[in-house]
Amino acid sequence: MKYAIVDLGSNTIRLSVYGCGTDGNWRLLFSEKETAGLNSYVVEGSLSGAGIRRACAALERLRGIWDQVGVDQVRVFATASLRNIRNTRQAREEILASTGLSVEVISGELEGELGCRGVIRERNLENGMVFDIGGGSTEISRVQGGQILSAQSLPVGCLELFNRHVKKLWPKDKELEAIRREAEAALKGVPLPQPPAPLVCGVGGTARGVLKITNRLLDRPETERSVSMAEFAGVARCLLARKAEARDVILKTCPDRLHTILPGVVLMEAVCRKLECQRLYISACGVREGYLYRCLLSEKEAPLG
């Protein structure tokens, strides 16, 4: 069977098409994304009509792709893009009326669990912490003995931080400091295991963007997925200096994140400090793979823990 999984995020809308066997194994056939920036269309807590139309247009374009390859099932889920707005029901109803697609809005805790499930399936993670920095939220989860013990969602993300604190494209020193203060404040209530987790895993677009930049700056293979804290600190210094080298490497690796990567790096620094991270692993799998796994388990919602 072929599954089309669409992740309606606050910054990007992503389509992944998977080929799934009867034995429960799957492989990614291809993926496509559109930077819609839905969080930027939120006005007084509600997604504007223009934002809803932007989401519909992106879904229709992606539909043209999955229709060409032929899929057996299509699932669309939304994270903070529809979860953290006042008019969630209205947005879902208008998207359904316009596109015929029903959007499942998942909770922050479930989003964290799904991201963990993706890492566990890829890496066979036994013990560690998993974080996912999105456009409108950040999830932090704990895995012990191969089981998901906790998943917490924080209402702070890289696009939201950009919209709230940055007036132009490149944040100024005062704006970076404001982003840092908000990130640290949001992380104060996150409980941590003692002793610190042996491995911290990052999932999602921000973490993958940082990995791409790291591999390019350090002239490493694109397949390298581990980053030491010393390497990350050096990359962060380069990017936050906002010089020509930083601009060039972003444009060459993740140009669609030109406006969100610096707030994302500041938030990622705060997360790694909070988790007392020694070495970081950036997973190729995440929420969409966890969601696919849930679909393969059952047509109904199934507990993941």
- Predicted local distance difference test score (pLDDT) of residue 23: 75
* Cα→Cα distances 235→20, 240, 252, 257, Å: 37, 9, 15, 16
Is 141:129 a contact under the CB 8 Å cutoff? yes
- Give 64-93 pLDDT, tens digit per residue: 999 999 999 999 999 999 999 999 999 999
pLDDT (mean) for 1-14: 95
| 116-151 per-residue burial string, b: 16 or more CB within 10 A, e: under 16 | bbbbbbbbebeebbbbbbbbbbbbbbbbeeeebebb
- Predicted local distance difference test score (pLDDT) of residue 301: 42
Least confident of 16-30, 44-58, 246-260, 274-288: 16-30
**Does position 304 have pLDDT exceeding 70, yes or no?**
no
- DSSP per-residue codes, 76-131: EEESHHHHTSTTHHHHHHHHHHHH---EEE--HHHHHHHHHHHHHHHH---SEEEE
pLDDT class of 298 with cuts at 50, 70, 90: low
CATH number of 109-282: 3.30.420.150
Equal CATH topology for 2-105 and 109-282: yes
The mean predicted confidence, pLDDT, of the chain is 92
pLDDT class of 63 with cuts at 50, 70, 90: very high
Is 168:127 a contact under the CB 8 Å cutoff? no
**Which residue is it, tokens 């939220």?**
137
**Does position 217 have pLDDT exceeding 80, yes or no?**
yes
- Give 169-179 pLDDT, tens digit per residue: 999 999 999 99
Q: pLDDT higher for 197 or 181? A: 181
* Cα→Cα distances 61→4, 120, 205, 210, 305, Å: 14, 32, 20, 28, 35
pLDDT class of 122 with cuts at 50, 70, 90: confident
**Does position 297 have pLDDT exceeding 80, yes or no?**
no
- Give 12-57 pLDDT, tens digit per residue: 999 999 998 877 788 999 999 999 999 999 999 999 999 999 999 9
**Does position 240 have pLDDT exceeding 80, yes or no?**
yes
pLDDT class of 299 with cuts at 50, 70, 90: very low
- Predicted local distance difference test score (pLDDT) of residue 124: 81
* Other C-beta atoms lying within 10 Å of the C-beta of residue 258: 13
- Predicted local distance difference test score (pLDDT) of residue 136: 93
CATH topology of domain 2-105: Nucleotidyltransferase; domain 5 (3.30.420)
Give domain limits for the chain.
2-105, 109-282
